[in-house]
Structure 1
Amino acid sequence: MFLQPESKEQNLSSDFDPVKKETFASAHEEYKELRQKCPVAYSEAYDGFWALFKYQDIVSVLKEPATFVTSVQNVVPKVSTTGRRPPLHLDPPEHTPYRRTLDPFFTDEKMSQIEPLVRETTVQLLQDYIDAGGGDICTNFSHHLPGYVFAKFFNLPTELSMEIREVTKLYVQALNKVDKPAIQQKSLELYDIARTIIQMRKDNPLDPTEDVTSAFLAKTYKGEPLPDELVLGTIRQLIVVGMIAPVVFIGSMSVHLAQNPKIQDQLRKDPSLIPAAIEEYLRLFTPYRGFARTPNKDVELGGRKIKQDEPIAVVFASANRDEEVFPNGDKFILNRPNIKDHIAFGMGPHQCPGAPLARLMLRITLKELLERTKNIELAGEVKMTPFPEWGPVSVPLKVEKV
C-alpha cells in the first residue's frame, strides 16, 4: 500500500501555519483549501511535521499500525518527556494488556450504571449556570464537568479530582504555549497525583471489576504483574485525557446552537433527535487535530515522500469534513446516512476507549441545556484553543431559562 520513495531529496517549506491566531471558522476554511490543493502538507512549526487532511489518507495510516506507530511521537507538537504512558504511548502488541484492562469499564452496562450520577452532576452545574443568566460556558460549566464526572468514574474524592482538573488546566495552557519547562513541571505534578491514587488503592483495595486503578494493579500478563512504572504511566494518562476535549467541544456546540436558533427549537421540540445531533456535532466539531503517527520506514503519501521517523499529524478535524466522504461537510445535517463513518474518536487499536463516557456526558449536557432554556445566544467574543486541539476555550453566552 505504501511505496518506498526514491532517495531524491525534497526542498521543504511550510505549506501552512498551525500557530497563527484562529477564529471559529478560519481553520476549517483553510483545511478545506488544503484538502483540495495540498492534502499532504508540511509545516516548519514545532520542529517540522507533516499533516494529513484527507479522510482516506488518514484512514489508510490508522489501518497500518505496524508501519505508522505511536510509540515515537503520539501528538504534534511533541511534548512527552516524562515517561511512557500506556496505552497511547505503546504500539500493539505491547499496548494490548492495557486496553484489555481498560475497555471493560466503558461497556453499555457500565455507562448505564454511571448515567444517574453524571446526570445529577450535569444538572446541578448547568442549573447554577442558567440561573445566573449564562456567562462563559467553558469557564463556568464545561471546565468543571469532567472533574466531577471523573471523581465518580475513578472513585476519587471530589477534592482530589478537582485538583487534577486545575493542574490539567495549567498543563494544557503550557502545551498551548509549547512552554516545555512548564509542561514538564505540570506533568510531574500529575504523576505525583497518580502515585497518590495508586497508593490509595494499595492501602484500600477495591473490586477490580469496579475500579480502574485496582484493575491495573491486579492485572497480570504472561504470568507477571504489569510493570509498576507503566501502571503509573497509565493512571497518569487516564486522569488527563478526558479533561481536555469536553471543554472545547461543549464550547463548539454552544456556538453553533447560538448561531442557529432553529436548530435549538428543533432539538427542544424533539429530544429524540439529540443522539443524532451529538454524532453530527462530533463530526462537525471534532476537537482533535494533532494526534500523530510516525513511519518506521520511508513512505509515500499523496505523492509526497515522508522519511522514516518524520512525525505526521492525522488531522481528524479535517477528515470529518472531507466532501468526498461527507457531502456538504461544513453543514450540520441530522441523520447523515454515513454518520457512523466519522473518526472523531480515531480508528484502529488506538481508537479512544472513553468514547462511550464522552457520548454520555455530551448527550446529557445537550438535553439538559436545551430543556432548561428558552433561548441561547452569543454575548461576547469566542476565543479559540491553539494546536493541537480545535475548539473554543471561551464562549460567553446569554441564556433565557424556562
Structure 2
Amino acid sequence: MRLTPGPARDIDLDSVDLFDLDLYTSGDPHPIWDVMREKAPLHHQVLPDGREFWSVTRHEDVCRVLGDHREFTSERGTVPTHLGTDDVAAGVLMTSTDPPRHTEVRRPLGSKLTARAVKSWEDTIRGTVRRFLEPALDGEVFDLAEQALLLPALVTGPLLGLPEQDWEELVRLTAMVTAPSDPHFQIGSEAATLAIAHHELVSYVKQWVRTRRTDTGDGDSLLHHLMSVRPGGEALSDEEIALDGYSILLGANVTTPHTVSGTVQALIERPEIYEKAQADPSLIPNLVEEGLRWTSAACNFMRYAVDDVQIGGGTIPARGAVVAWIGSANRDASQFPDPHTFDITRSNAKRQVAFGFGPHFCIGAPLARLTLRIFFEELLRQFGTIELAGEPQHLRSYFIAGMTHLPVTAQRRTP
C-alpha cells in the first residue's frame, strides 16, 4: 500500500471495493479514505458473495467502535479475513473476548509488559538490533522488509520463552494468518492457508504447555505466566492457553516489521528529515510515533454492532459487521493537520491509533515502542546514508499494511 498518496481524484463511492487486494498491493487507498471521511463517514459495502459490512473512517468514530464493547462486541470476530464466519474461539481467545473476562486475562499479562517492566530489556534489545543491522553496513543490497520479519522474534522470543530454532517457522506461520493471499506465504487457497497456519500455531503452543506442565523448574516467560492466570478464580485450560498464546504470537510478530520498513522508506524519500533526526536524537521518540501513524501496519479491526447503532450520520443494524479503518483514522485532518505529510515534529503524533484503542489496545505497545526507539537510534547512529536499491514490494493484504521487499544500500556513518 502506498504510504505517500497520489493526487486527489474523483471517487465513486458506490463502486469502491475496500476488500480489493490490488488496492493495497499496487494501489492507493488513501484518496478513497479521504473522500469517505468527508462524504461517507459510514460506508456500506456488499461483497459479491453476499457478505456485507459497514466502514468507519474518521478518527472519532474509529475510537468509538474500538472503545465501547457494549455497543461493538469483539465476540464474533475481530479481523475482516473472518467476515461472515463467527469466531469459534469467541469468549476464549483474548482478542475475541469482551470485558470482564478479557480484562481478567489481560491484566496480569499486562503487568509484565509495562514501560517500566520492559525497560530492563533495553540493553538486550540494543544488542539484538545492532546484530540485525550489521549485515546492512557492508555496502551490499540488504532487503530490509524481508529481514525485518524476523526482528520481533529476535526480541520477543526469549521473553515468550520460545526456543530460537522455532522462531523462523513461527514468523512464517503468523504471516500466513495475517496475509493469507500473499504469494510469499500462501499455501493453496486463502482458506487453506488460514486453516493450516491456525492449526500449526495452536498445536505448537499446546505442545509447549504440555511440556512445561511436566517441567519441575519455574519459568518467568509470558507463556509461563499465562499458565498461572486464573480468570474468575479458575485456571486456564491447555486449549485456552494455546489460543491466548496464539494471539500473543500474532501480536508480537505481525506489525513491528512493517512499521520499521515503512518508516525507513519515508526517511529514504525525505533525506532532509533523516539528517534532521540524526542531528537531534531527541526527536527519535516522536519519529517513532509519526512512523506508527504513517504506516498504520494494522490497517483495520472489525467489530459487530450489538444493537442498532447511530454513528457517522447513519445506522449500523444490530449484528452488523463494522470495520474500523486505522489507516484512515491516522490520516484524519481533524486530528492531524496536513495528514499526508511525514512530520517528525508533529506535536500530537502520539494520538495515533496504530496500536488500537480501548480494551483491546495492544498489550505489547510498550515493548514495541522501546524496540522501535532503539532501532532508529541505532540506524541513525550507524548509517550515514541509506538509499533504495530497487522497487518496494507491498504485502497482499487488506488487514496488514506492509512490505515483503524493501531493498536498500547503506553507508557507515563517519565519526
Global fold match (TM > 0.5)? yes
Q: Does 1:395 align with 2:401?
A: no
Q: 2:46 aligns with which of 44, 47, 51?
A: 44
Structure 2 equivalent of residue 155 of structure 1: 161
Contact 1:293 1:311 in 2 (8 A): yes
Relative to structure 1, is the Cα distance of residues 318 and 206 closer, same or farther in structure 2, using a 3 angstrom cutoff?
A: farther
Relative to structure 1, is the Cα distance of residues 225 and 25 closer, same or farther in structure 2, using a 3 angstrom cutoff?
A: same
Q: 1:305 aligns with which of 310, 315, 330?
A: 315
Structure 2 equivalent of residue 189 of structure 1: 200
Deviation at 1:173, TM superposition (A): 3.9
Query: Mind listing any 5+ residue stretches in structure 2 that lack a counterpart?
Result: 1-12
Output one character per residue of 1:117-164: Cα deviation in whole Å (capped at 9) or x when no partner.
211111101111222533220112x11111211212112211122221
Counterpart-to-counterpart distance in 2, 1:26 and 1:316:
15
The more displaced of 295-304 and 96-105 is: 295-304
Deviation at 1:58, TM superposition (A): 1.3
Counterpart-to-counterpart distance in 1, 2:201 and 2:216:
21
The more displaced of 65-74 and 376-385 is: 376-385
The more displaced of 129-138 and 167-176 is: 167-176
The more displaced of 63-72 and 196-205 is: 196-205
Relative to structure 1, is the Cα distance of residues 338 and 307 closer, same or farther in structure 2, using a 3 angstrom cutoff?
A: same
Q: 1:296 aligns with which of 303, 306, 331?
A: 306
Deviation at 1:184, TM superposition (A): 0.7
Contact 1:24 1:382 in 2 (8 A): no
Deviation at 1:303, TM superposition (A): 2.4
Alignment of 1:141-152 (within 5 A): 142-152=148-158
Q: Does 1:100 align with 2:107?
A: yes
Structure 1 equivalent of residue 35 of structure 2: 33
Deviation at 1:247, TM superposition (A): 2.0
Output one character per residue of 1:74-115: Cα deviation in whole Å (capped at 9) or x when no partner.
011217866345321101112121111210111223212212
Classify the secondary structure of the residue corresponding to 1:21.
helix
Classify the secondary structure of the residue corresponding to 1:74.
coil
**2:214 corresponds to which letter in structure 1?**
D
**1:121 corresponds to which letter in structure 2?**
T
Contact 1:298 1:308 in 2 (8 A): yes
Q: TM-score, length-normalised on structure 1?
A: 0.90
Deviation at 1:212, TM superposition (A): 1.4
Q: Does 1:60 align with 2:67?
A: no
Q: 2:146 aligns with which of 130, 139, 150?
A: 139
Q: 2:89 aligns with which of 64, 68, 83?
A: 83
**1:241 corresponds to which letter in structure 2?**
G
Q: Does 1:275 align with 2:277?
A: no
RMSD of the alignment, in Å?
Answer: 2.3
Classify the secondary structure of the residue corresponding to 1:281.
helix
Deviation at 1:342, TM superposition (A): 1.8
Deviation at 1:379, TM superposition (A): 1.7
Classify the secondary structure of the residue corresponding to 2:319.
coil
Deviation at 1:168, TM superposition (A): 2.2
Alignment of 1:215-234 (within 5 A): 215-234=225-244
Query: Mind listing any 5+ residue stretches in structure 1 that lack a counterpart?
Result: 1-11
Deviation at 1:289, TM superposition (A): 2.1
Classify the secondary structure of the residue corresponding to 1:291.
strand
**1:74 corresponds to which letter in structure 2?**
T
Counterpart-to-counterpart distance in 1, 2:217 and 2:41:
49
Aligned residue pairs total: 389
Counterpart-to-counterpart distance in 1, 2:40 and 2:16:
8
Deviation at 1:243, TM superposition (A): 0.9
Relative to structure 1, is the Cα distance of residues 23 and 256 closer, same or farther in structure 2, using a 3 angstrom cutoff?
A: farther
Relative to structure 1, is the Cα distance of residues 60 and 168 closer, same or farther in structure 2, using a 3 angstrom cutoff?
A: closer
Counterpart-to-counterpart distance in 2, 1:116 and 1:175:
37
Classify the secondary structure of the residue corresponding to 1:229.
helix
Structure 2 equivalent of residue 70 of structure 1: 74
Deviation at 1:207, TM superposition (A): 4.6
Counterpart-to-counterpart distance in 2, 1:22 and 1:255:
17
Counterpart-to-counterpart distance in 2, 1:104 and 1:214:
14
Q: 1:111 aligns with which of 102, 105, 118?
A: 118
